[in-house]
Amino acid sequence: MTDDDTIATFIRDTARALILPRFCALESGDIREKKPGDLVTIADIEAERELTRLLGSVAPGALVLGEESVHEEPGRLGLLAGDAPVWIIDPIDGTGNFAKGAPGFAVIVALARHGAVEAGWIYSPLEDVMISARRGKGAWRGARQLALMRPAQDELLIGSAYGRAQSGVRAAEALKRSGRVGDIQNHGCSGLEYMALALGETHFSLHSRSLPWDHAAGMLIVGEAGGCCAFLDGSTYDARIPDRPLLAAVSAAGWQTVRDVVTAPA
């Protein structure tokens, strides 16, 4: 088993060497569109390359899957369907924020096998905050184990929400109209949204797509902290499925509340 502190060091050192020096210092040629509205920067590419090298050196037999490598070669997603363990990398989650010189980005790394996430790390370089989890071993911020507190019965929920409700309106709008949600806080960075949930700052995080580099680590971390995490249809999260709505919440009751609102017919 790979030492978790070693992986955390890889992530932190890569962010300090290749990501933070580029923050607010990107030139026009350092940013391009992969498709309309979907940006990649030189920092994404360099950080993924370095993390791929480092992770590939510590776990013989494990494969490495990065967001940018999948953009170049979509068939690489099939690596998750094999028998080998797979490192999953999002070198900069929240590239849109990073490219604008705005806060709101993270580095995400997960280790999965047969669709089950075995370990996960989320790192906020600007705040130097790392959270992590190992399946069956709990979720941690450094030496402090994370344990989610259940909201009071009459407490308004706070969280992030993307996509559309079954009624056709935006999920965020449907939730705010429900009377059970006090605020929607979308940061354009799923890693930081899972971090806020795991640290007890929010109550739920709803996403319309389940791309593994965005969600594998966060779903494990929140679950290991005592939260409720699953695809929106109630099925168990599987990192091999990239395009299904998913929901993480501080409790089963909160999970059901959000699901009931967004799946209610018009």
Report how far apart, in Å, the C-alpha atoms of 84 and of each of 6, 63, 113, 160 are.
21, 7, 7, 33
pLDDT of residue 152: 80
Domain boundaries, the chain: 4-146, 157-263
Question: Could you tell me the CA-to-CA distances from 125 to 97, 133, 156, 175, 250 in Å, in that order?
Answer: 13, 18, 30, 31, 25
Q: In a 10 Å sphere around its CB, with 0-12 CB exposed, 13-18 middle and 19+ buried, how is residue 186 labelled?
A: middle
Q: What integer pLDDT is reported at residue 266 of this predicted model?
A: 76
CATH class, range 157-263: alpha beta
Please give the model's pTM, rounded to 2 decimal places. Answer: 0.96
Mean pLDDT per 10-residue segment, the chain (266 residues): 87 98 96 91 98 92 95 95 96 97 98 97 98 98 93 89 97 96 96 97 97 98 98 98 98 96 92
What per-residue confidence (pLDDT) applies to 37? 85
Superfamily name with CATH number, domain 4-146: Fructose-1,6-Bisphosphatase, subunit A, domain 1 (3.30.540.10)
Sorted by sequence, the CB contacts under 8 Å of residue 69 that are 6+ apart come out as 48, 52, 76
Query: DSSP secondary-structure letter at 210?
Result: -
pLDDT of residue 2: 66
Nearest Cα to Cα of residue 208 among 263, 143, 149: 263
Q: Given this model, what pLDDT does residue 1 score?
A: 47
Which residue stretches of the chain are H helix? Answer: 4-14, 42-56, 67-72, 95-100, 171-177, 190-198, 212-224, 252-263
